[in-house]
Structures are given as structure tokens and as C-alpha cells.
């Protein structure tokens, strides 16, 4: 019979091999049904995690790129494309899309540690100061995060020039 617990064989208390075989079959089908239910639950949890990560990546202001061991893009969020002003479709070579990464790629791909550096990138007739953080992803690839720090650098320079102007003005006033 087939019920809510899967396929079962009716067992009659006959005390022979058929009863033992029927009990073993029912035990086996019950175990298989439990494993199937576990797999369904695991898949649902995995789908929920994947959906969460995808929505998280799409809402982040930071650009996120994942490269495989060969330097091919396997994942890029919209922020990375906007920041770099390029389409970063899957399986494109990052060095082909963003030539500024070419001298860095072999070191990034061969390094099993994290790195943090800055690049000046020409994007649509403008130069952007980009902070780049990289790290291994646990599967022979790397994760790259990108943040546009252009405004921050500009603000720091403005503050530095104001400080220089203030000091010069102070020296001029005191020099008289």
C-alpha cells in the first residue's frame, strides 16, 4: 500500500521469512522516506540561503565580484558594474573587462590571504579612487569588494589644504 509514510507492505504475523522480508522492506522504505524528507528540507534551506545572499548582494552599495581560480568572473553584483562602469557578466575574464587588474590578478589568485589596497580607475572620463579588498572564498576562487572612496579622498585633500592655508595665514600674521 501507499500511504502518507510512503510504500509499505502489509505484514501478517506468520513467523516465516516472508514476514521478516516484509518488515525489512517496510523499515527500508521508511528510512528512504526520512532521507528524502531530509533532502527536501535541506534543499529548501539552501534555496532560502541563496535567495537571502542574492538579495543582500543586490542591495549592497559595495561592489562584490567573485573570481574562479582562472580569474573568470562567476558572480558580480550591480554595484560592482555601476562602480566600474562595465558589464561584468559571468565567465568574463576580469583582466579583459578591467585592464587595471591585469598586473594584480596572478598575485590575487595565488595568494591565500586577504589584501587591502587602492586603485585609481578611469571610469567614463572620470578618475575614481577605489578601495579594493580581496580574500579567498574557500573554493580556490577569490572575493573582491570594491568601494568608491573618491569623495573621501577629495574631502581629506580639502581639509589638508585648509590646514596648510590656516598655518600659512598664522605665520604671516605672526611674522609681522
pLDDT digits (tens, 9 = 90+) for 111-149: 777 888 888 888 778 888 999 999 888 788 899 999 998
Specify the 3-state DSSP secondary structure of 72. Answer: strand
Q: Which residues pair with 93 in a beta bridge?
A: 72
Largest Cα–Cα distance in the chain?
Answer: 118
- pLDDT of 170 > 80? The answer is yes
Q: What single string gives the DSSP state of each residue in 89-156?
A: -TT-BHHHH-GGGHHHHHHHHH--S-EEEEEEEEETTEEEEEEEEEEE-SSS-EEEEEEE-HHHHHHH
- The predicted model gives 97-109 an average pLDDT of 81
pLDDT digits (tens, 9 = 90+) for 3-61: 555 677 777 777 788 888 888 888 899 899 999 999 999 898 888 887 777 776 667 78
Quote the pTM value: 0.64
Note the pLDDT of residue 13. 77
Q: What single string gives the DSSP state of each residue in 4-68?
A: TTEE--------SHHHHHHHHHHHHHHHHHHHHHHHHHHHHHHHHHHHHHHHHHHH-SSEEEEE-
Note the pLDDT of residue 150. 84
Amino acid at each position: 500500500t501507499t500511504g502518507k509514510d510512503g510504500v509499505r507492505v502489509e505484514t501478517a504475523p506468520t513467523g516465516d521469512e516472508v514476514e521478516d522480508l516484509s518488515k525489512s522492506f517496510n523499515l527500508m522504505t521508511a528510512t528512504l522516506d526520512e532521507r528524502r524528507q531530509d533532502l527536501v528540507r535541506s534543499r529548501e534551506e539552501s534555496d532560502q540561503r541563496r535567495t537571502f545572499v542574492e538579495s543582500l548582494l543586490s542591495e549592497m552599495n559595495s561592489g562584490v565580484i567573485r573570481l574562479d581560480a582562472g580569474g573568470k568572473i562567476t558572480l558580480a553584483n550591480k554595484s560592482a558594474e555601476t562602480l566600474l562602469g562595465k558589464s561584468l557578466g559571468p565567465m568574463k575574464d576580469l583582466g579583459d573587462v578591467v585592464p587595471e587588474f591585469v598586473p594584480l590578478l596572478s598575485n590575487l589568485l595565488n595568494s591565500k590571504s586577504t589584501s587591502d589596497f587602492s586603485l585609481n580607475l578611469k571610469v567614463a572620463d572620470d578618475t575614481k579612487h577605489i578601495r579594493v579588498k580581496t580574500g579567498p572564498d574557500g573554493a580556490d576562487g577569490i572575493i573582491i569588494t570594491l568601494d568608491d572612496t573618491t569623495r573621501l579622498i577629495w574631502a581629506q585633500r580639502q581639509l589638508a589644504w585648509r590646514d596648510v592655508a590656516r598655518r600659512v595665514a598664522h605665520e604671516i600674521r605672526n611674522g609681522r
